[in-house]
Amino acid sequence: MLDPTAQIAQNVAGIRDRIDRAARRCGRGGEDVTLVAVTKYVTPPEIRAVVEAGCTDLGESRPQQLWQRAEAEPNAAVRWHLIGHLQRNKVRRTLPAVAMIQSVDTPRLVEAVDRIAEELSLSVPILLEVNVSQEPAKHGFSPDAVEPFLARAAGLRSVQIRGLMCMARLGGGSESAREDFARLRKLRDRLDDVCPESISLDELSMGMSGDYEVAIEEGATIVRVGSALFEGAL
């Protein structure tokens, strides 16, 4: 048995190695893929261990938890990503704490982030969350709604749209996840040709513990991994 810190370091190394191999299978390198460590299941000591192991992009799905964690242990090396639903009344407190909001799921939220970022003199990178599997219970732009939104998005000043994010449908296994990921990539490729010049859609955030290698094979540039990082350490 390893102690938790050593176990987490070993998990990080193993996941980086698998990321690297998946990236090379499709002619890329592991350095092209950002590993976001999702910390929603763990406590500050495990977060410290994952940061010590070199993983400085951290993700939380609940805004309040992200604020608390970012404020409790300020660390200039850490980049926090919000990966879950954000209500408009939580935007003001969230913006100063994050490096990126990956889960922007409505035009109204994009507009609120833009307006408040401008008030706070911040420039905020975001991803548009797309409900690729069109499940009613899920947040996200419907795939058909992204193009009309982008056509009106050229005037945003304080929000930088960097790409798209999705979650694969639950319980479908890795081949069904692959279809969802391929759908997001194809949508991005199509939108790249039509979106305003000021917007780049280079980032694709897709893949979690069970399917990040499949996601990389389908073009992910960001993977969000939680449980696999902390296996054996909790």
Ligand X SMILES: *Cc1c(COP(=O)(O)O)cnc(C)c1O
Element housing 14 (H / E): helix 4-25
Task: Return d(Cα 215, Cα 228) in angstroms, integer.
Answer: 15
Q: Which is nearer to ligand X, 156 or 222 (CB)?
A: 222
Q: Which is nearer to ligand X, 10 or 158 (CB)?
A: 10
User: Could you say whether residue 38 binds ligand X (CB under 6 A)?
Assistant: yes
> How far is C-alpha 214 from the geometric centre of its chain's CA atoms?
16
Tally the residues of the chain.
Answer: 234
User: Could you say whether residue 163 binds ligand X (CB under 6 A)?
Assistant: no
Cβ at position 77, least distance to ligand X in Å: 21
Choose which of 61, 94, 131, 133 interacts with ligand X (CB under 6 A). Answer: 61
- Which positions from 171 through 230 interact with ligand X, judged by CB under 6 A? 208-210, 224-228
Q: Rounded to the nearest 5°, which phi and psi values hold at 33? A: -115, 125
- Say which residues have a Cβ less than 8 Å from residue 84's Cβ, sequence separation at least 6: 60, 61, 62, 63, 103
Choose which of 16, 40, 90, 169 interacts with ligand X (CB under 6 A). Answer: 40
Choose which of 15, 83, 110, 220 interacts with ligand X (CB under 6 A). Answer: 83
- Centre a 10 Å sphere on the Cβ of residue 26 and count the other Cβ atoms it contains: 10
Element housing 230 (H / E): helix 227-230
For residue 85, the number of C-alpha atoms closer than 13 Å in the C-beta half-sphere is: 8
Task: Return d(Cα 103, Cα 110) in angstroms, integer.
Answer: 10
Count residues binding ligand X (CB under 6 A).
14
User: Could you say whether residue 167 binds ligand X (CB under 6 A)?
Assistant: yes
DSSP character at residue 130: B
Task: Please give the single-letter amino acid code of residue 171.
Answer: G
Cβ at position 155, least distance to ligand X in Å: 29
Q: Which is nearer to ligand X, 128 or 156 (CB)?
A: 128
Asked if 190 and 201 count as a contact pair (C-beta separation under 8 A), the reply is no
Q: Which is nearer to ligand X, 10 or 227 (CB)?
A: 227
- Which positions from 117 through 156 interact with ligand X, judged by CB under 6 A? none
Q: Which is nearer to ligand X, 91 or 168 (CB)?
A: 168
- State which residue has the least CB distance to ligand X: 226
Q: Which is nearer to ligand X, 208 or 220 (CB)?
A: 208
User: Could you say whether residue 39 binds ligand X (CB under 6 A)?
Assistant: no
Q: Which residues bind ligand X (CB under 6 A)?
A: 38, 40, 61, 83-84, 167, 208-210, 224-228
